[in-house]
Chains A and B, each alone.
Chain A
Amino acid sequence: MANVTFRQDRCKGCGLCVSVCPKKILQNDMTRLNSKGYHPICCTDQASCIGCAFCATQCPDSVITVEK
């Protein structure tokens, strides 16, 4: 059981985390913009998260917190 949370206003929509997630459960929310004007990151399926922290490790902006 694992969980990711995001400081979404820091997200720049770079997509690095999306590309490294082994479960492919990260996606930029194309329906909205954060205060920086980017499509912020969100998790589409928390239940599938394995808490590997590949996403948080690859994120240049300290957006992601991972719990397990």
Chain B
Amino acid sequence: MAKRVLMKGNEVIAEAAVRAGCRHYFGYPITPQTEVMHYMAKRMVEVGGTFVQAESEVAAINMVYGAAAAGARALTSSSSPGISLKQEGISYIAGAELPAVVVNIVRAGPGLGGIQTSQGDYFQATKGGGHGDYRNIVVAPASIQELYEITVESFNLADKYRMLVMIFGDGTLGQMMEPVKFKDTETIIQADKSWATTGRGGRAEHNIVTSIYIDPDTLEKKNYELQDKYALVAKNETRFETINVQDAEIVFTAFGTCSRICRNVIRQAAELGIRVGMVRPITLWPFPSEEIARVASLDHVKAFLDIELNAGQMVEDVRLAVNGKKPVYFHGRMGGNMPTQKEILDQLVAIHKGEVR
């Protein structure tokens, strides 16, 4: 039955994962994502799956590595400092080309920081965080319904491309409750897993999962194969939402819960006679550079205003995509604070009047 329930973001992630066929969860408590783990502690038992509270986030990501190598859909979740701990494991997962889903419910940093919402891990998520030339698919939902749908899809994407998919939820998303409508059954892609280490079982060759290639030529070739894969993902899986740019003078770029505030400001600005649109990246990697470049080329677009919960991270990618065609302004809040509609509107009005540097 297609249920419509009021649910907390963290719990929706867990439920969506189970519906996507994930039967192995490994985690460690950290605020503000611990409810994912609490939910899984019960739900995994109900579905006969695995639940392990690991000794650390490091151990948890390595358990995911093992489970993924063995051919299963596996999940771990954490928040910023815990995601820092996982970086070695994430790099190994990328190098070994394993499918995996990792959730980051982002809190304010750096260091121990604070426990309230942030988007300060954008660099970490999209530019590496771990060592080496690799990419993860990074998805940034902006509502609980989108969180559910994207979580299910993340497992399919991970299997399809043999990649790690990171669900980037600002802290607010993990904690807030909204109605979500679950499907009766999910579409689960059955990917080829003949490479998995399941026990040789009469196979002519044994399967090996590894990320080390000591010979430079071999490792370089492997890296080019990865780059080719990433190019394919960028071509096929870039997701974004563009609102109201057909006659917009100023265009927001924002993701996650920030984009919701911007959506409201667009309406307020319209009442003041200022035409505002937005490009909302849904995949942070692959980044919708082409779409932003396209919008930057529109004659009526005069400027971009990037709104983030950090000191200015995605704005660098926006500037790269805009490539000097139009000015890109930035407004951010940190520490767990969120911008008010008023402060964003004030910035917008100032830009519109030409009063901003």
Q: Do chains A and B touch in the complex (CB under 8 A)?
A: no
Chain B interfacial positions (CB closer than 8 Å to A): none
